[in-house]
Amino acid sequence: YINKTAGRPDVSLDSAMTPMIDVVFLLLVFFVVTASFRLIEQMLPGTLSAQKAGNTEQTEITPTPEADFEQVVVRIGWDGVSPTWTVNDQPVADTNALREILNSLASIKPDAKLILHPAAAVPMEFVINAWDWSRLAGFEAVAFAVNQQE
């Protein structure tokens, strides 16, 4: 139907907007369905410290005065099935014991530098868990150690 007075077709705006509204709602449904609602891990605010092998200090796990330790080194090993933990070269039985040790050390000296030193075969899941436990315990400075290639 052509409107003789205006010289252009008489098209209703309602019929032209309906497909556009449908497309917008389909896009909305698509983005809601594909969105991930779990907490996104941000970039870890840790630093890397390059240390030569054999350059470690033996310190007590639970020192009483604050001056007894400047840093805590948590080594994460892998026995093929599960991680093995050592804190300042002293073995730790399991993850619960590691958390208790980290909590007690952080309560004594939270500004001590904590260095996570994972072996190459350790899955990243356990390294991130150790970092999370360190931050939850209250350590202010958590760093990652790397082995220098010679």
DSSP 3-state of 33? helix
Give the separation between CA 23 and CA 39, rounded to whole angstroms: 29
Task: Give the type of residue at 5.
Answer: T
0.85 surpassed by pTM: no
Q: pLDDT tens across 57-81, in order?
A: 544 444 444 446 678 889 999 988 8
Q: pLDDT tens across 94-123, in order?
A: 888 999 999 888 888 888 888 999 988 888
Give the separation between CA 78 and CA 84, rounded to whole angstroms: 6
